[in-house]
Amino acid sequence: MSYRVYGLVLASNLPLPELAAVAAPTNEDPDVRFRRAPLSCLYPDPPEWFMHWRMPSGEPWLSAARNDDGYLLRFHDHADFVMDDGGREIVCRYWKEGAPETLRHLLIDQVMPLVLNLRGAEALHASAVLVDGGAVAFTGPTGSGKSTLAAELARAGHPVISDDCLGVVDGGAAFEVVPAYPGLRLRSDALHHLDLDEHPAQPVAEYTDKCRLTVEDSAADPSRRRPLSAVFVLDDRCGADAEAVVRELHPRDAAMELIRSAFRFEVEDRSMLERQLEFFTRVAAAIPVRRISAPRGLDRLPGLRRAILQSL
């Protein structure tokens, strides 16, 4: 089975209903192959991990290490993924028996964005919507409301292009975005607030209360690029009664914000860091990057939407 995701064709021996299937077989080889191996024991512990992503409690969530053929990605208590050093082959060597959507979520939303970086592409931890033919992206820390804000703008007629991971490429005449896949992940309170309770939704994973909504719109076609119009950096460090404030960032500060929001696999890879610095410096010089400050809360969404559209 083959699917389109992040501009790539992914072949998988595991059905991935969250993704758009390739309509018909082609003679071309897929960009990435994924295989779920038979359930087995954990991959042997490596001598050294080069990366740890930790939960707020301090416990490791994702650890990465090199092995003889490439890399090991361990999602603690959930799954082990092994990939080659070119990001072409991915094998799930171990997975915790339980909800099958958890394994699919780890592959699609956690592993594949890192594969993009490993393959030499750049991607932002961002959601995006389509406004007047251009992509408007929202970055910010985990939990800052990127997906919810995208859903609010979608209610106003601006289709969702991507949720959580947005590929960015140099299209020559303009920087362009590569949609991830037609989907949106929201918490139950956001679903209720946005009147999406009746919309068909599926659980994302067993460890989160988020639900996955399918976005049935051609704007989210993962094979179609769109020009990048603007990036908004979400910032909730303001008073509870403050109105949304939009401020354009100096290109130097904008570049640093983009780099901070970029997916990075091997954080000590100097050539990769230099590549990202050069790339996002050019992006920041070409498009507006704005910080939008507003207090958190679902009731603030209409104000955020108005401030964003007005600034555009």
User: Which structural domains are found in the chain, ordered by start?
Assistant: 2-119 (no CATH), 124-311 (3.40.50)
Q: Are 3 and 32 in contact (CB under 8 A)?
A: no
- φ and ψ at residue 303, rounded to 5 degrees: -65, -40
Share of the chain above pLDDT 90, in %: 45
Q: What is the dihedral sign for C-alpha 27, 162, 143, 119? A: positive
> What does the mean pLDDT of the chain come to?
87
- Cα–Cα distance list, 24 to 9, 144, 155, 261 (Å): 12, 39, 33, 35
**Residue 218: which pLDDT band, with cuts at 50, 70 and 90?**
low
Q: In the predicted model, what is the mean pLDDT of residues 7-28?
A: 83
**Residue 217: which pLDDT band, with cuts at 50, 70 and 90?**
low
**DSSP bridge partners of 53:** 62
| Neighbouring C-beta atoms of residue 106, cutoff 10 Å | 20
Per-residue pLDDT tens over the stretch 170-198: 988 899 998 888 778 888 888 888 888 77
pLDDT at position 164: 84
Whole-angstrom distance between the N-terminal and C-terminal Cα of the chain?
41
DSSP H helices, 163-291, are 188-193, 251-261, 270-286
Residue 233 has pLDDT above 90, yes or no: yes
Q: In the predicted model, what is the mean pLDDT of residues 61-88?
A: 91
Residue 21 has pLDDT above 80, yes or no: yes
pLDDT at position 142: 77
Per-residue pLDDT tens over the stretch 275-299: 999 999 999 999 999 999 877 788 8
Q: Which range (44-48, 95-99, 255-259) has the least confidence?
A: 95-99
Cα 223 to the chain's mean position, in Å? 16
| Neighbouring C-beta atoms of residue 159, cutoff 10 Å | 18
> Interior CA angle at 289 toward 238 and 138, to 5°?
70
| Residue given tokens 């080889």 in the structure block | 29
- Cα–Cα distance list, 249 to 131, 156, 288, 292 (Å): 21, 26, 8, 10
Q: In the predicted model, what is the mean pLDDT of residues 66-91?
A: 91
| Residue given tokens 């640093």 in the structure block | 256
The count of C-alpha atoms lying within 13 angstroms of the C-alpha of 121, restricted to the half-sphere facing its C-beta, is 24
Q: Which range (14-23, 39-48, 117-126, 128-137) has the least confidence?
A: 39-48
Q: Which range (23-27, 71-75, 220-224) has the least confidence?
A: 23-27
Retrieve residue 3's tokens.
């699917």
pLDDT at position 110: 92
Which conformational region is residue 145 in: left (phi greater than 0), alpha (psi within -120 to 50 degrees), or beta? left
Residue 309 has pLDDT above 90, yes or no: yes
Closest residue by Cα to residue 129 from 163, 96, 103, 97? 163
pLDDT at position 216: 65
pLDDT at position 192: 83
Retrieve residue 90's tokens.
């991915």
Retrieve residue 229's tokens.
């119009």
Distance CA 159, CA 291 (A): 22
pLDDT at position 58: 85
> Interior CA angle at 255 toward 223 and 162, to 5°?
25
DSSP assignment letter at 215: -
Per-residue pLDDT tens over the stretch 88-142: 999 998 887 777 889 999 999 999 999 999 999 999 999 999 999 899 999 988 7
pLDDT at position 242: 67
Q: How many Å is the Cα radius of gyration of the chain?
A: 19
